[in-house]
Amino acid sequence: MSQLEEGETERCLKNGESAPSSNVDVQSEAANVSASKSFFKQNLVEQKNAKRKSDMTLEEMYNGQHGFEDDEDDDSDWEPSALPDHHVVEVPKWFCLNCTMVNIGDDLHCDVCGEHRESGILKRGHLASPFYGAEGLTEDDAHAADGLQGPSLQSFPSDNATAIGFDERMLLHEEVVMKSHPHPERPDRIRAIAASLAAAGIFPGRCYPISAREITREELLMVHSVENIEAVELTSHVLSSYFTPDTYANQYSASAARLAAGLCFDLAAAICSGSAKNGFALVRPPGHHAGVRQAMGFCLHNNAAVAASAAQIAGAKKVLIIDWDVHHGNGTQEIFEKNKSVLYVSLHRHEGGKFYPGTGSAYEIGVMGAEGYCVNVPWSCGGVGDNDYVFAFQQVVLPIASEFDPDFTIISAGFDAARGDPLGCCDVTPTGYAQMTHMCSALSGGKLLVILEGGYNLRSISSSATAVIKVLLGESPRHDVEQVMPTKAGLRTVLEVLKIQLNYWPSLESRFLKLQSEWGWYALQEKKHKKKRGWAKVPTWWKWGPKRWLYRLWCKKLS
């Protein structure tokens, strides 16, 4: 008897099974096992290649870099869960509708944001209770946003009204295959805002819509290269594709991007011509990361840049773009960094270039004769809230904007610096966004267009957008900004920006000297605040002794 047969007989006797009758049976069984393994492995290879095709980037599609081979030694896509195992107990897992964060178990509320598992936020926006499910809504509540999709919704001219740009076809832009986590830039973002506006009676109601159209190739060529336009158009022929690992497209994405850009173009033209008082572009995909050539950061075409070009065609000689998205608008900066007729101001997390996309330091001021027409306010840490943003508006944004004296103002309104956003991790409230909008409304004779950019917590994005639109309608925010106390880190950032920009905007010099003289007072207030939070008092000998460098390092860490 062979060694295989002897081993098999011993195993069977040990387990109380009958031994194989002959060597031929053993060989037959071994052959069957080998064939099964071969079939299973071939099936995994085919699945792996299919996955590679679905994740293929646009660059690979252009260059024909398919390169799918049956690499038998590469088990990087091996998924043990694909094997049937009756001894494995699956733990219930669900993703929060509001913030997309993963939750383990059968809890009814999200561990991160507290939203109910069956939230009704897509029916009533932020007006829906976060503590109860959608089944608690009345029939009228459940259909509050249906008016946005009805055929009876028609545009009408009014020179004293706020215009809204929205089209449900932009909802078709979504990631085809969800990977390990729902993509944060999802159709529910504008669904939640639309539901909030409908439930509050703002739109339809107090605002009027404009007719949607896809932007033309000629209009796009004013801000983008042929390379960008053709790359986006190519996605309409593919079920699923990626420009970058985080920037997806499906067969409807190109049309959605052209609709978003077309709405922004027409809103800017309508406001400049006086057909509308101001406007809000409820659009996606966002745009401020899209540069002259590249699509990136969830963005395909640059909506703010398109709106600026439309305003200039309509007669605006100088255009101001204020970008308060938590990420730097590197695409918008690239498009206008050589242009003195467009002033770009961005407030964003930077952290020395460690925060996406890594650009936007205070020293990026414009090039080739347009120095000073790019103003970056780069926050050095997360958690930035209302006071720092309003303070930066008072000391940097508004003084420079007033000296620039724009004919038209655009806000790239990302709401991912809002409290509760999973990507931004900052602390701006709807009141803070309303206050910043109110401060901008006095610029350019009130000709103001707000364009949606980022924002990935449905409750915070819908409440913040609603607060901004209420200001566009003429309501005043309930917030006292006379005595705004910034954080020490916020003050340091503002001083750094003022020191750089006063070389190009002379009116800033007096502000810089005044704030610099008050630095000691601000630092004292911050020190008192930290003591209240429980920081230990450091002995004097530590401050000025031989190891004072350790104290300075400690202070730097606290700040």
Q: How far apart are CA 553 and CA 559, in angstroms?
A: 10
How is 226-264 classified by DSSP, letter by letter? HHHHHHHHHGGGSSEEEEETTEEEETTHHHHHHHHHHHH
> What's the start-to-end Cα distance of the chain, in Å?
78
Of the candidates 335, 300, 303, 328, the residue with the CA atom closest to the CA atom of residue 449: 303
Query: How far, in Å, CA of 332 to CA of 552, rounded?
Result: 38
Q: Under a CB-based contact definition with an 8 Å cutoff, are residues 459 and 131 in contact?
A: no
Q: What is the 3-state secondary structure (H, E, C) of 401-463?
A: HHHHCCCEEEEEECCCCEECCCCCCEEECHHHHHHHHHHHCCHHHHCEEEEECCCCCHHHHHH
Catalytic (active site) residue 126: no
Catalytic residue among 116, 173, 289, 328: 289
Tell the burial category of 363 from Cβ atoms under 10 Å away from its Cβ (0-12, 13-18, 19+).
exposed
Give how far Cα 300 sits from Cα of 55, 280, 303, Å. 17, 19, 9
Q: For residue 227, give every residue at least 6 positions away whose Cβ sits within 8 Å of its Cβ, in sequence order, or none.
A: 293
- Per DSSP, the three-state class of 143 is coil
The Cα–Cα gap between 315 and 118 comes to 49
Instruction: Give dist(CA 287, CA 302) in Å, integer.
Output: 4
How far is CA 454 from its chain centroid? 3
| Catalytic positions, written as ranges | 289
